[in-house]
Chains A and B, each alone.
Chain A
Amino acid sequence: MRAETLLSGGPDEMVSGGGRIRPHWRALMGAVGGLGRPALAERRERLLRAIQEDGPAALLPGAAGGWRLDPLPLPLDPAEFESLAAGIAQRARLLDAVLDDLYGPQALLASGALPARLVLGSPAFLRAARGGRAPRRPLLHLYAADLLRGPCGAWRVLQDRAAVASGLGLVLENRRLLSGAMTEGFRAAAPRPLSPFFELWQDMLAALAPPGVADPAVALLSPGTAHGHWYEHVVLSRELGCALVEAGDVTVRGGAPFLKTLAGLQKLDVLLSRLDAGALDPLDQPEADAARGIPGLLDCLRHGAAAFVNAPGSGLAEMPALPAFLEDAAPKLVGETLLLPSLPTHHLPPGAEPPPLPPGHAAWAFRPAGDGRAAERPQRDPSREEAAIALPPLPMAPALDGDAMAPAPFVLRLFAVGDGARWQVLPGGLARLATAGQALTGRLPGGGWCKDVWVPPDPSEAIIGPAASAFRPLPIRRTPAALPSRVADNLFWLGRYVERLDRGARLMRSAIARLRRFAPLPREVTELQALARALHEAGLVGAEAMPGTGSLSPLADALPRVAAPQMRAQTDRIGALLESVRDRLTADMHATLTQTLRAAEAALDAAPPELPELARALVPSLRFANAVAGLASENMVRGGAHLFLELGRRIERAQAVAGEVAIALDGPPARIEAGLRLVLELCDSAITYRSRYLNVMQPAPALDLVLADPSNPRGLSFQLSAIAGALVEIGFDPEDAAAREAQRLLAQAEGVTQRLLDAADQSREAASLPPLLRGIADRIGALSDAVTRRCFALLPPARAVGVDTGAGAVVLGA
């Protein structure tokens, strides 16, 4: 009953009381009307596809539904937007002042303007954020308000968002997707662009840095890929041109936060946080998990070593009962009357009941008085301290449901950023379409149905861009400034797993090609034995699948039953890694890679037990590996991210080549020719060999091509030389043990050709190579471990900063 009264009968945004389309809708509806229904439905499909292929749904873990974007935007009346913007900016200033007092002198509590019990009992009140020095302004930097149209016809605040104020990433994505799908609408209605807001925001963030910092390091602090809004963090960090970091990437030294990067610790000056304030700092918050969070962070902020927005504990401004006191507090705190009031709100101590519902409203909504994270409930719990909020019927705007356009109820979210002196309101926003049973308040859900919000240009005003900021030429950088160690680690393993997938597919394909023969030749049986060993060593089949002298059927059976699911498990790992480095890839690269990976997964999932079909099911996996290689070489700037992806691939491939050649050559010298053919096939070098040596198969030329020839990108020497180069580029001293080891391995691989040429019997010599090659494979593994330890696990030794660290005990204070 409540849902019905709320979700229908609300004010129509498009059509006025007189049944006429409002002026600010006309340009848009003209364009939409011109499209006709089938075209509009096609646009909706196109949007859905775009969202799935390259939108939040492509990335958000487990968000099957994700966000669905309506093709029809919500235009706002330009004049109404201007007054809303003034109201939003004032409200943000007011809430900042409230926070400043509550985390400072608490005059609002002493005077009784706010109930002490409400504030001090709120789970959002962060005691560790109070005390010590006066807090730095602004405490509130990014603010969002959810709005409904009150019975008076003016917008009213449903809830304030002051902790992380989610949704801007979604707004950006909506605008990007819609600009592709609704070009006619854009041409006709010409919404104000969003980019000036983000440029200004970027400047504001830089300006928040502690005084005296010339080139501030700004980072967006994200809870990580498992978080429901991680996609937004990626989008925002890109738009704002700042590093995307997680709590584990940050460490406190000498009273300041630092980013752990490959180049050592780099100071962070401004943190735009998307973390839950309750788990920020296990030192100051005993309830926080010590393994998460950043010990000492709050102390850094307390002493002004870095700016952190929104300030820890700013979620206090979201308290649902706070609006009951704002109208009285506004004149005292900002010297003005409140321009944009909340919906009628009452603070109900335990036992109290709300007054009669004010006219024009549909229902009371009840929320915990002090917890802005909690959603509303329709019933009062008299045992609890709650806020009662009078809800009017929701405003309605046309949305495309199926093929029909129908009015749909929505909640409008607008955003603003501020630097303590001024506030800028985004000329756009998010309209969340409400459905029955869905909460209107509390945290922004990870999915739903939404609209882009357009603010038409105001013809009476000149277009104002961001204030021309003091132009500061950036220092030219050609090396990655701050690649977090975690990201490098993920890229390295992404490289290794992609290569592993590629090797696995090649081995399986070669085995299937031979197993398909009705009666394999003796040479092919030998090759199959080698292939089975290689498959076993790659972890794709069990020991029982290795054909001894007898039957080949265990291998034929294991390929679909064991190897294919193993490959599928590898694609899962790759998917997770790909997601974790999402912010290092361009949208195109990401789209290409996720699509090809999905195709590989789908093919493996559907792989039938019949071998010929299984071979076909492996093709998408090979295609995916090729896509990674191609994109890495053509689309990624050398150095940084590319370096680690490349290093991972090269190490994996070097190890595999050395190991597989060892297996192929492991046999009597008389059978060496079969081994050589297999080696050339696995290293994709058969055609090159034929072009060089026709059909004459000899050990020295064949092994030269796969082991020693530096120009063969599938050969061992090529990998080792690439590894040696990458190590130096990463910053390993050429005299470092790992760098020297890479050079030694390269020399060994290159020495094989001469060794074979010098031998009296090349076949015998080739058959003696496996121990050497296995040794090389093992040493490459050790080299990989050394790189991992050096780059990813261990931090550079800490330096003592700040305090005189004389020997012996130091007296603190006196």
Chain B
Amino acid sequence: MTTYWLRHRTAYRYEAAVDLAAHLLHLRPRALPGQRVLSARLLCQPAPDHHTETHDHFGNAATRIFLAAPHTAFEVTAESLVEVAFPPPPAATPPWEDVRDAATAAEAAEFTLPTATIPLLAAARDYAAPSFTPGRPVLEALLELNARIRADFTFQAGVTSITTPIAEVLATRRGVCQDFTQVMLSALRGLGLPARYVSGYVRTRPPPGQPRRRGADQSHAWVQAWLGPGLGWAQLDPTNGIVVRDEHVLLAWGRDFADVSPLRGVILGGGAHSLCVSVDLEAEGAD
């Protein structure tokens, strides 16, 4: 079990005054078996005129912040203390075809459908297909696909953005965590297997002999794949080719990024704006 101190700061600066703003935040870590949220708070500047806390359709915590006075900067800092020890996936899982055939279940059906940003591409399905041989236990196939993505795709920041289509990532084999997650989701859903988009953070191991770099971390994305009725979801991080255990902190899940984007807003006025995001995920006792 590892305890993390998490700090996620987002700062907007506006060229002209924003008269009215509304922001939707998915920044509170989700309480789960395997993830205990010891404390969580949000600080924002300027102070909101109104705010609400709810849980969305997926069960994620959602905070809405409303600013009604003119402002030229807006800053949100989410801080939390989280204990993480996700249980390992079960040793025995059913053949992947059985999981596919059971995917009409209420808990899973939604996560087999295409979305605007994650279409079901034949190219993605064909890429995954060699791992899904007839009768193969689903977890075994998932782990292999997870490892293949890690091996076949090059992690390179700056070549893609949140709007880069999956087809392009499949062709260039380059991108960041979100791109690999989307490729894997498109492939699994194309095979009829339920899979979720997960938003959160991963700790970055410090280089030997150096303190870890503050602000060097960022929002992370990975995959939850359904293992069948009663077996729950396996958490797979295709960017690192690993099963999620105690190096990740989970914020929210949904069908795609649009369901869980950490911070999204609608503003009136403001002109051009700049955005600055920094994330620190420090293991307690490390450093």
Residues of chain A whose beta carbon lies under 8 Å from any beta carbon of chain B: 106, 109-110, 112, 115-117, 120-121, 127-128, 130-133, 251-255, 282-284, 286-287, 290, 295-296, 299, 302-303, 795, 798-803, 805-814
Contacts and interface: CB of A to CB of B under 8 A. Distances in A.
A489 to B, nearest CB: 18
A116 B110 contact: yes
B47 A283 contact: no
A302 B113 contact: no
A110 B24 CA distance: 29
A801 B52 CA distance: 13
B101 to A, nearest CB: 13
Given A295-B22, A798-B20, A127 B52 contact: no
B72 interface: no
A299 B52 contact: yes
B49 interface: yes
Given A800-B49, A810-B48, A812-B44, 13 more contacts: A116-B106, A117-B113, A127-B57, A127-B58, A132-B55, A283-B23, A295-B20, A295-B22, A795-B19, A798-B49, A812-B48, A812-B65, A813-B41
A284 B116 CA distance: 16
Contacts of A805: 47-49
B44 A302 contact: no
Contacts of B63: 812-813
Interface in B72-88: none
Contacts, number: 137
A798 B64 contact: no
B155 interface: no
A375 to B, nearest CB: 23
18 contacts: A115-B104, A115-B109, A116-B106, A117-B110, A117-B112, A127-B58, A128-B57, A131-B54, A132-B55, A253-B50, A255-B50, A296-B266, A798-B69, A803-B48, A806-B47, A810-B43, A812-B48, A813-B42
B259 to A, nearest CB: 7
B264 A286 contact: yes
B53 interface: yes
A806 B58 CA distance: 33
B93 to A, nearest CB: 22
Nearest to B105: A116
A809 B50 contact: no
A298 B116 CA distance: 22
A794 to B, nearest CB: 9
Contacts of A295: 20, 22, 266
Nearest to A807: B47
Nearest to B113: A121
Given A117-B104, A806-B47, A290 B55 contact: no
Give the residue among B50, B52, B259 with the most A Cβ atoms within 10 A. Answer: B50
Given A131-B55, A284-B24, A810 B44 contact: yes
Interface of A is mostly: loop
B34 to A, nearest CB: 22
Given A295-B22, A801-B49, A116 B56 contact: no
Given A110-B106, A810-B48, A799 B68 contact: yes
Given A117-B113, A798-B49, A803-B50, A809 B44 contact: yes
B104 A296 contact: no
Contacts of B22: 252, 283, 295-296
Interface of B: 19-20, 22-24, 28, 39-45, 47-59, 62-66, 68-69, 104-106, 108-110, 112-113, 116, 258-259, 261, 264-266
Contact of A803 (B51, B57, B59, B110): B51
A810 B110 contact: no
B257 to A, nearest CB: 9
B109 A287 contact: no
B69 A809 contact: no
Contact of A132 (B24, B44, B54): B54
Contacts of A814: 39, 41
Nearest to A118: B109
Contacts of A120: 109-110, 113
B69 A121 contact: no
Contacts of B116: 287
A287 B258 contact: yes
B68 A798 contact: yes
A588 B41 CA distance: 61
B63 to A, nearest CB: 7
Nearest to B261: A286
A253 B50 CA distance: 8
B98 to A, nearest CB: 17
B261 A302 contact: no
A67 B56 CA distance: 43
A286 B261 CA distance: 10
A130 B49 contact: no
Contact of B266 (A112, A290, A811, A813): A290
Contact of B43 (A121, A284, A811): A811
Give the residue among B48, B63, B113 with the most A Cβ atoms within 10 A. Answer: B48
B50 A802 contact: yes
Given A290-B266, A296-B64, A116 B50 contact: no
B54 A296 contact: no
A252 B57 contact: no
B258 A286 contact: yes
Nearest to A810: B47
A295 B42 CA distance: 21
B81 to A, nearest CB: 12
A197 to B, nearest CB: 36
A303 B52 contact: yes
B254 to A, nearest CB: 9
B266 to A, nearest CB: 4
Given A286-B261, A295-B266, A800-B69, A131 B106 contact: no
A305 to B, nearest CB: 10
A283 B49 contact: no
Give the residue among B20, B55, B266 with the most A Cβ atoms within 10 A. Answer: B266
A99 to B, nearest CB: 14
Contacts of B47: 803, 805-810
Contacts of A302: 52, 54
Nearest to B66: A296
A97 B261 CA distance: 32
B41 A800 contact: no
Nearest to B103: A117
Contacts of A803: 47-51
B112 A130 contact: no
Contacts of B24: 283-284
A251 B54 CA distance: 21
Nearest to B65: A812
Contacts of A117: 104, 109-110, 112-113
**Closest 3 interchain pairs by CB?**
A798-B68, A132-B54, A116-B109
